[in-house]
Each structure stands twice: as C-alpha cells, then as structure tokens.
A and B are shown apart, each in its own frame.
Chain A
Amino acid sequence: DGGITQSPKYLFRKEGQNVTLSCEQNLNHDAMYWYRQDPGQGLRLIYYSQIVNDFQKGDIAEGYSVSREKKESFPLTVTSAQKNPTAFYLCASSIEGWGEQFFGPGTRLTVL
C-alpha cells in the first residue's frame, strides 16, 4: 500500500538529548513537510522540502534540523536547543509544491 510512515508512534527522551524522527513515503511525491502540533492547537510548519537535497525553514525551525538525501525520506532531528520539544509531530507529502498533502500517523514526543 502506498502511504507515509512515521516511526516510532511514541518517543520518550531525556532533556538535553537529540532525537531523530523518521518519515518515509512511497508515493513518489517530490515535496515533504514537518509540522508540530500542541494540545488544542493547529499545526505549525517546521521545515519543508520541495525536492531532494533542498529544504526550507518554516515558521518554527529553531531547534530543529532536517535532511533530504533521498526522495522517500525526510527525517527530523529535534535538538537540545529546542526549548519545548514535547509535542505531536506530523510529516506530510504532496506530489509537488503545496497541493493536496497526505499526512503520516504522527509521532508523539515526550521529553522527561
């Protein structure tokens, strides 16, 4: 089945540690995105990539980093510089540009 997978579903880390969230898609989409969602809030854009080896900062990129070495993969690293990392993280992809976006199931990160 085609789709977007995120792993793990739940992730715990100690304060001060970096952690990498996985996002893989087999939809042959060019564009991929990372969003953060806090309780009761909408989604906020962290980073996006419209093509391999290229990515752009979104609205809240500080404390995060990404890479896009393969079309299928867009991992997000939450660094120790992110002051409030506990949140629900969502990855999405679209055929190109900012068309209809398909979302993964999300990863819920808790910093202890």
Chain B
Amino acid sequence: DAKTTQPPSMDCAEGRAANLPCNHSTISGNEYVYWYRQIHSQGPQYIIHGLKNNETNEMASLIITEDRKSSTLILPHATLRDTAVYYCIVRRVGNEKLTFGTGTRLTIIP
C-alpha cells in the first residue's frame, strides 16, 4: 500500500470548517483513500472513503485531487466533539490490511 503523510497536529476554531490534508503521492490506480478518526481512549470510527471522485456523507466531505496524489478531509462545521486523531489510509482493492499511521491530532478550540 502507498504511504501517506499527514501533519502531526492542527487546530481549528469551533464552528469553522476543519480541512485535514493527506499526501499520498505514490498511490496507484486501484487504491482507495480511507479516513478514520479516534477520539481519546476509544476505538477508531470510519468517516469516509473514495477512489477518485469527491465524496460527501453526513459526517464529512472528501476532496481528492485530479492526479490523486493528495486529498483533504473537510469537517464543515467543527464542534468540540470533533477533537480526535484523524487517520488517512490508502488501501488497495482486495488487499487485506488497513495500515494506520500516527495521523493528525485535530484540536477544536472553543
């Protein structure tokens, strides 16, 4: 699986949009981009995933660049409960593992 690079930490003001970047410059054509988050001392929670088109669900939006070398997870109106570690994961179709790196620690500031 392609490696991903994320900033170790970010802050965002409550009520603003949180934009979390992820670089996956070696991604190949059959690899998906997944996002999970982990609130302190809890199990990770699936957020969203995509292949090449932008995706949106009730939690977030995923914007994937045209060359697929990077993506951005957008939380449109961040709340204090969005404070968590966010993991960007690239997974090959049919591959057996989700590889979790160290992620981005997002802190929502009141």
Which A residues are closer than 8 A to B by beta carbons? Answer: 4, 35, 40-45, 48, 56, 58-59, 88, 90-92, 97-98, 100-106, 108
Contact = CB atoms under 8 A, between A and B. Distances in A.
Contact of B97 (A40, A91, A98, A106): A98
Given A42-B87, A90-B43, A105-B43, A48 B100 contact: no
Given A97-B94, A103-B42, 13 more contacts: A40-B102, A42-B99, A42-B103, A43-B44, A59-B97, A88-B41, A98-B97, A101-B46, A103-B44, A105-B42, A105-B43, A106-B41, A108-B41
B6 to A, nearest CB: 11
B5 to A, nearest CB: 13
Most chain A beta-carbon neighbours within 10 Å: one of B43, B46, B96: B43
Given A42-B100, A45-B97, A90 B44 contact: yes
B101 A106 contact: no
Contact of B42 (A42, A56, A100, A106): A106
Contacts of A41: 102
Contacts of A102: 46
Contacts of A59: 97
A59 B45 CA distance: 21
B49 interface: yes
Contacts of B45: 103
B68 interface: no
A48 B102 CA distance: 21
A22 B95 CA distance: 27
A33 to B, nearest CB: 8
